[in-house]
Amino acid sequence: MTKVLRTRFNRWIELILVFFVAGCVFPLSCHRTQGNEAIAKKMPTILLNLVNSNNPVNYAKGHDIALKDGRVRVIIAVHTRFSSKDFLSKYDLTDYQSREDLITAYISIDELRRLCEDPAVIYVRLPVKLNGR
């Protein structure tokens, strides 16, 4: 009887260890691949992967992201209490259009991370492509 209890006890310990390790390792690996959590909440995975890529130009080509002179076109939603004009010079946005709390512009890939860290930014997205354009 004690041998049976010891075997069951060992199985429970194994299960507990498996769940413990999975609970510790899995979130760390996800965090490492997706980058800073605050930044990940403000931009979609495709943009986050572009920022973290060793070769952003190849990543952009492989994922149908249009680049213009090393810049990516994005839509930036900002809190209305902030002036969109401040963003134009602060992040060197080009070919921009703004309307209320939305800005559409080209931004350097290197500036995307810093842009998402700005408390005035609600989110950053790629523009929607219509009919494959």
Task: Please list the pLDDT of the chain residue by residue as tens digits (133 residues).
Answer: 566 555 666 676 665 655 655 555 444 434 344 446 778 889 999 999 999 999 999 999 999 898 999 899 999 998 877 776 777 888 889 998 888 888 999 999 999 999 999 988 999 999 887 765 5
Residues 90, 41 share a domain: yes
Q: Is residue 76 part of a domain?
A: yes
Overall domain count for the chain: 2
Q: Are 30 and 56 members of one domain? A: no
Q: Which residues partner with 105 through β-bridges?
A: 74
What's the domain range around 103? 37-125
Q: Are residues 24 and 70 in the same domain?
A: no
